[in-house]
Each structure stands twice: as C-alpha cells, then as structure tokens.
Amino acid sequence: MAQTVKRAFKFRFYPTPGQAEELARTFGCVRLVYNKALDERTRAFTQQGRRISYAESSAALTEWKRSEGLAFLAEVSCVPLQQALRHLQGAFANFFARRAGYPVFKSRKRSRLSAEYTRSAFRWRDGRLTLAKMDGPLNIVWSRPLPEGAEPSTVTVSRDAAGRWFVSILCEGRIRPLDPVENTVGVDAGITALVTLSTGEKIINPRHERTARRKVARAQRGLARKEKGSANRAKARLRLARAHARVADRRNDHLHQVSTRLVRENQVIAVEDLAVGNLVKNRSLARAISDAGWRELRRMLEYKAAWYGRQLVVIDRFFPSSKLCSACGAIQRSMPLTVREWECACGVVHDRDVNAARNILAAGLAER
C-alpha cells in the first residue's frame, strides 16, 4: 500500500543578476537575525538564568526592523527571517534535550548560504517558481520531474562554496513499497572495498578524494600564493571549492547507487553501528574513512528502507563480527587490521570481510 511521505527535490538554477542580488541580501539578513537572536538568548541565559522563547524572539525581530540601524531588514522577505528564528528554536530544543551541542554563530565566510521560504512567500504556478520580492520565476534546470500533482510546501534556496545555486523543493508524494523478496544481506563497511556483502561480493571503493588529491592540492597551493583580499584570491578560492564539490558530488552519486541497489534487492539489510566519529580520530585512517562516506551510506539506507518497505537492522558496534567464526562460532582472541584472511581451529579459512558480513547478517536475523 502506497504511503504519503514528504520528500525534498533539489535542483540547480541560474538566477538573473537582480535575483542573485536579492538572494545575497536575504542570506545576509538571515545570518544577522540568527546571530543577533542567538546572542540575546545566550546573554539572557548566562546573566539572568532564563530562556527566551520563539515568541519573544519574533517580537524582538519586529522591533529590530523599526530601529534606524536595522531598518534594512524590512527590505527583504520576512518569511526567511522568521524561519531563521524557528531553526534557532529547534537548535536550542535539541541542545536542552542533549541531542546536540550548543548552537554556534553563523560565519560570514561559511561555505553554504541558505534561506527558507514557506508557502506564503512563493508562488507556484504551471511548474514555475517565483519567490517573494522577485518579479520573475527562477530559471530552474528540471533534472527530474516532481511527483504528479505535487504542491511545494517549503522552498529552500542555497548557494554553495563553489558558487552554484540550488533550490530544494519540499512536497508530499506517494511512494509504493517494493514487492517483497526473500533475499537478506549483511553489510560490512570497509576501505579497500566500500562494502562487503554476506554473499561474498565486494563493492569497490572509488576513493574519489584520493583520485582528485593532486588537483585539489594544486588548487590549495594556488590559493595560498594569492594576496588576501585580492580578486585573484577570490578566483583561486572558487577553483578550490569547485574541486572539492566535484569530489563530494561523485561520492554521493556512488553512495546513492549502492544504497538503492541494496534496498531493491534485499528485504532485510543488516549493518554495524559504527562509531565513525571515534574512528576518524585515527590519523592513519581518518582521510580514507571520511572519503568512504560510511555515515552517509547508513543514512541513505535508513530512509530508503523506510520508504520502500524494507527492514534495516543495526547491530551493536561491540559485536565481534571479525573475530567470530561464521562456521563454528569460535571467537579469536585478537584480529589485527593487517590480517585479511585467517583459518579457524575448525579448519575453515575465512576472508576477514566476508566472514564479518555473514556474522552481521546472522546477528541481524536473530534480532528481528
């Protein structure tokens, strides 16, 4: 039975000079409002021991617009400014619930700038999107169609460090779960192979960052040689950002292909609960682990499994998947990372990663 879910569809667009100027002003105002509200909340909490609510921050925003020094805030759409306050409220809610750290100020030099528009601040007509304060629709490159009859509820406009403009359109759509299958799979994440499956298959790790390392290093050296504040430095920074963006785009594309294939082919997918934050503290492996994108792959598997009626089982991170013999159940005392193949006392010779994937699958099926 099809389910209704909210999905965000991201597209690239090319603004006119006027639209780019209006969006740049909006980004600046959003950052200012967020930082000013955060500063007032922090001061009230540290000096008076009280919490400021969203309603109080919203009332303060109205007063800021009336003040002489901040009157320019009234020149941009008010909706992105209100949304910035809502995001700050959510950040504090997560902090007090101990789900996240204390909110931080938005930097003027941050890599990604964004503004969020709700339904009252944009017009959607005949597949054309026009934002508030703009006289014409955005020139969007429709790389894929929106769901039939979709009506956007929220639109987020952003510009990344490489100077590319994107619009993310949130709308409801109906997704039909995939037909049930009998296949189950255990997935062991790695570096040489991105993932090893319990079937014995190993999916290659393209190592996009390593492939582009020479080009990125050249761009970094070029940036370091330019005088700060010069136009040439701005161009060099853009070249470096584009090199990094290409690596990130290729990595995400590969992770989408792998996660989609695993979800389509298997009813149950078992994975390990890896502590990636701790693993990257290893200076010898941090770069390779970050390039592999294990955390992002796990995130993709989670939402795709939920969409398409599959089950993702997460195994405890302390489960000895590599040291456990999948044939007899004996546990080895130690298993250094340098050991890629080993023989159990029962006589079975194991490939380290395939054995781990089979153990992960067995543990996942036992937890169902």
Burial of 68-91, coded b for 16+ CB within 10 Å and e otherwise, reads eebeebeebbbbbbbbbbeebbeb
Q: How many CB atoms lie within 10 A of CB 289?
A: 19
Between the two ends of the chain, the Cα-to-Cα distance in Å is 22
Instruction: Tell me which residues are annotated as active site.
Output: 188, 272, 353
Q: Are 140 and 167 a contacting pair, CB within 8 Å?
A: yes
Backbone angles phi, psi at 271, to 5 degrees: -135, 165
Q: Which two tokens stand for residue 279?
A: 């693993």
Q: Which of 23, 40, 49, 208 has the alpha carbon at shortest distance from 131? A: 23
How many angstroms separate the CA atoms of 46 and 55, rounded?
A: 20
Contact between residue 272 and residue 360 where contact means Cβ atoms under 8 Å apart: yes
What is the Cα 285 distance to its own chain's centre? 22
- The answer to whether 365 and 183 have CB atoms below 8 angstroms apart is no
121 in Cβ contact with 132 (< 8 Å) = yes
DSSP output for 18-66: HHHHHHHHHHHHHHHHHHHHHHHHHHIIIII--PPPHHHHHHHHHHHHH
Pairwise CA distance, residues 225 & 90, whole Å:
41
The total number of residues shown for the chain amounts to: 368
The strand pair at 184-189 and 268-272 is best described as parallel
What are the tokens at 229?
Answer: 């504040």
Give residue 212's Cα distance to chain centre: 21
